[in-house]
Chains A and B, each alone.
Chain A
């Protein structure tokens, strides 16, 4: 935490001082340029990778929406949420219901997916606003406890109301195949990656602009000192609700994208563990930094894959291998979370920026 606090005044300074030489481009333009660069990169990479890697990258993009939203809430506004897995479930289930409703009416064209995604985000915004209004009145362990309850209870609701959500089995999500214009041999996974990357990049551009805006500064002010923020004319509760709603919208988009990728939703995928995973991802990546959220999202997808190849190195009985495979990533996640929190509270991105600062201090290059 101390690392993020130390970094905050600099960031605020940089945001306010857009007239500084070398930073004359407006923030929006800069963010759009970066996003365009990343989009181009993804486009190129998607032709190089095989289908499975494309799918994994698409999953990273889906998680990135949720982790970016969570890092804005927890890192910038100082509110801990353990309920983002449940918010992702809200987005995913809404998307599934809307897509199924469209499919029943024969609206199977790919363009309707955009409508479904928007509806999914809107539904999550409503849920996020309800939780956020309650959350704005709570602090520390109370907030954590309430959001933990949300994370435990919401997946259970799918079983309670199994007429709508079809219980443990979940729902299938009909998704249109890649447009015919791309050729009949176009891999479906590459198309999935394009869809996920497009949605995630637009989400990230919006978040990055928000972080650099008046609202972002208000978030940080509220995080650092609520009384001082109030004295400065910031409406603390409203700011916290806005942060929660924005964060919920991102999580809802992430969940909806996951549903599109998996083409199904089931409560098992959105349990308490997912919420803890998201928190772990943003903490390990570095709280309050969008780049840290990207590290975390990559880790969420890469670590299970790594442990899978690791367990394959040993010859184990099938039962033992199955136990190990499901649980080893969790154990590593948990242990990493504890170690990072104790040893390097700034996370990966904190270490990186400390490293670059140290390097720059030794060899000053051009920029002062």
Chain B
């Protein structure tokens, strides 16, 4: 029972990160109908910025801030310099371009930092606290929950309570009408990319220390897991992304705890396949009429 409790809490902490990353995917999907396959590579790039800043200044928090800033900037740059120029009539094109970005970013990171695992710092200890003889959460897990919670709340606040959030939703919902009403649709899209990429960078900062360390490919499997989470919740639904992320985190934690960590990739693939075959729209999708 203790083990079950530990795995559940560990899974929730892992799931919180997947939820944040899935949220980033959902943000861009809602804004521009693009699944950003370069999200993982972009987030890793931001994490490398944090590594450099931390190495230069010795402060984890300066590096953390730099990663978020780098994430925001990278998102905006990718939208303005690349995605805006792509012909969006065929849904294949943005996907292919995003994959080109993956190759490019990972290669540049490899050239600058080398293809070895670099150690990643944590601001808090990762040894679990014990409550009444049972190992529960570590201070780092609490930090993860708090950060993801704050970011999630901030996103909800921005999108539902501020004028800029309203403009972003309007630009995504009806671009032409919004343009007529004076909304800078392109700018809102860029802002959406920046926000999503910032959230992705945050997720990378949180997840990389719990895995093998910093590597150009560090987020490949995290991306696949987060994509699974986003699909599980429905690509259109931010609450779905959070629930999906927590669900995937729990599942992977149980799989690695009871069956072995080697099986995690297989479990992700099996889950994704099951969801796509049984409910391709996700758990929270309304039943849509077929488009003809």
A159 CB contacts on chain B under 8 angstroms: 262
Contact of A341 with B265 in the complex, beta carbons under 8 Å: no
- Does A13 lie at the interface of the complex (its beta carbon under 8 Å from any beta carbon of B)? no
- Does A156 lie at the interface of the complex (its beta carbon under 8 Å from any beta carbon of B)? yes
CB distance from B259 to the nearest CB of A (A): 11
Given contacts A144-B95, A149-B272, contact A327 B224 (CB under 8 A): no
For the complex, give the distance between the alpha carbons of A160 and B101 in Å. Answer: 30
A336 CB contacts on chain B under 8 angstroms: 100
B187 CB contacts on chain A under 8 angstroms: none
- Does B89 lie at the interface of the complex (its beta carbon under 8 Å from any beta carbon of A)? yes
Q: Which of A134, A145, A283, A342 has the most CB of B within 10 A?
A: A145
CB distance from A347 to the nearest CB of B (A): 11
Contact of A337 with B97 in the complex, beta carbons under 8 Å: yes
B interface, by DSSP: helix, strand, loop or mixed? helix
- Does B102 lie at the interface of the complex (its beta carbon under 8 Å from any beta carbon of A)? yes
Contact of B231 with A145 in the complex, beta carbons under 8 Å: yes
Contact of B276 with A138 in the complex, beta carbons under 8 Å: yes
CB distance from A87 to the nearest CB of B (A): 14
CB distance from A86 to the nearest CB of B (A): 10
- Does A221 lie at the interface of the complex (its beta carbon under 8 Å from any beta carbon of B)? no
> Which of A58-66, A113-121, A177-185, A271-279 binds B?
A271-279
> Which of B53-61, B80-88, B137-145 binds A?
B80-88
B107 CB contacts on chain A under 8 angstroms: 327-331, 333-334
- Does B277 lie at the interface of the complex (its beta carbon under 8 Å from any beta carbon of A)? yes
For the complex, give the distance between the alpha carbons of A335 and B276 in Å. Answer: 32
Given contacts A145-B35, A145-B227, contact A227 B111 (CB under 8 A): no
For the complex, give the distance between the alpha carbons of A78 and B34 in Å. Answer: 17
For the complex, give the distance between the alpha carbons of A318 and B29 in Å. Answer: 43
Contact of B87 with A276 in the complex, beta carbons under 8 Å: no
Instruction: Render A17-39 as a binary contact track against B, CB cut-off 8 A, 1 for contact.
Output: 00000000000000000000000
CB distance from B115 to the nearest CB of A (A): 7
For the complex, give the distance between the alpha carbons of A333 and B107 in Å. Answer: 10
B105 CB contacts on chain A under 8 angstroms: 334
Contact of A140 with B114 in the complex, beta carbons under 8 Å: no
Given contacts A145-B227, A279-B96, contact A342 B86 (CB under 8 A): yes
Contact of A327 with B89 in the complex, beta carbons under 8 Å: no
- Does A290 lie at the interface of the complex (its beta carbon under 8 Å from any beta carbon of B)? no
Q: Which of B91, B104, B276 is in CB contact (< 8 Å) with A140?
A: B91
- Does B92 lie at the interface of the complex (its beta carbon under 8 Å from any beta carbon of A)? yes
Q: Which of B96, B99, B266 is in CB contact (< 8 Å) with A153?
A: B266
Bin chain B's interface residue count.
35 or more
For the complex, give the distance between the alpha carbons of A137 and B277 in Å. Answer: 7
CB distance from B65 to the nearest CB of A (A): 28
A interface, by DSSP: helix, strand, loop or mixed? helix
Of all chain A residues, the one with the shortest Cβ separation from B281 is A142
Q: Which of B90, B93, B262, B276 is in CB contact (< 8 Å) with A142?
A: B276
Of all chain A residues, the one with the shortest Cβ separation from B272 is A149
Bin chain A's interface residue count.
35 or more
- Does B268 lie at the interface of the complex (its beta carbon under 8 Å from any beta carbon of A)? yes
A333 CB contacts on chain B under 8 angstroms: 100, 103, 107
For the complex, give the distance between the alpha carbons of A327 and B113 in Å. Answer: 11
Contact of B96 with A326 in the complex, beta carbons under 8 Å: no
Contact of B35 with A141 in the complex, beta carbons under 8 Å: yes
Given contacts A134-B277, A146-B273, A227-B292, contact A141 B108 (CB under 8 A): no
Given contacts A227-B292, A328-B111, contact A341 B276 (CB under 8 A): no
Q: Which of A142, A144, A341 is in CB contact (< 8 Å) with B100?
A: A341
Contact of B103 with A330 in the complex, beta carbons under 8 Å: yes
Given contacts A1-B93, A144-B37, A323-B111, contact A337 B266 (CB under 8 A): no
Contact of A327 with B115 in the complex, beta carbons under 8 Å: yes
Contact of B262 with A331 in the complex, beta carbons under 8 Å: no
Of all chain B residues, the one with the shortest Cβ separation from A324 is B111
- Does A317 lie at the interface of the complex (its beta carbon under 8 Å from any beta carbon of B)? no
Contact of B92 with A78 in the complex, beta carbons under 8 Å: yes
B110 CB contacts on chain A under 8 angstroms: 323, 326-327, 330
Q: Which of chain A's residues 270-305 have a Cβ closer than 8 Å to chain B?
A: 272-273, 276, 279-280, 283
Contact of B104 with A323 in the complex, beta carbons under 8 Å: no
For the complex, give the distance between the alpha carbons of A291 and B10 in Å. Answer: 52
Q: Which of chain A's residues 302-329 have a Cβ closer than 8 Å to chain B?
A: 319, 323-324, 326-329
A345 CB contacts on chain B under 8 angstroms: 87, 93
- Does B280 lie at the interface of the complex (its beta carbon under 8 Å from any beta carbon of A)? yes
Contact of A160 with B99 in the complex, beta carbons under 8 Å: no
Q: Which of chain B's residues 14-30 have a Cβ closer than 8 Å to chain A?
A: 29
B224 CB contacts on chain A under 8 angstroms: 145, 148-149, 152-153
A246 CB contacts on chain B under 8 angstroms: none
B272 CB contacts on chain A under 8 angstroms: 145-146, 149
Given contacts A74-B92, A148-B227, A335-B104, contact A341 B262 (CB under 8 A): no
Q: Which of B35, B93, B104 is in CB contact (< 8 Å) with A334?
A: B104
For the complex, give the distance between the alpha carbons of A273 and B85 in Å. Answer: 25
- Does B253 lie at the interface of the complex (its beta carbon under 8 Å from any beta carbon of A)? no
Of all chain A residues, the one with the shortest Cβ separation from B116 is A323
- Does B221 lie at the interface of the complex (its beta carbon under 8 Å from any beta carbon of A)? yes
Q: Point out residues on A near B: beta carbons under 8 Å.
A: 1-2, 74, 78, 80, 82, 134, 137-142, 144-146, 148-150, 152-153, 156-157, 159-160, 227, 272-273, 276, 279-280, 283, 319, 323-324, 326-331, 333-338, 341-342, 345
Q: Knowing that A331-B103, A333-B100, A337-B99 are A-B contacts, what are 9 other residue pairs whose CB atoms are under 8 Å apart, sorted by A's residue number?
A: A134-B276, A137-B280, A142-B280, A149-B269, A273-B103, A323-B114, A336-B100, A342-B85, A345-B87
10 intermolecular pairs with C-beta atoms under 8 Å apart: A80-B95, A134-B277, A137-B276, A137-B277, A144-B37, A144-B95, A149-B224, A149-B272, A279-B99, A334-B102
Closest 5 interchain pairs by CB? A334-B104, A334-B103, A337-B100, A330-B107, A331-B107
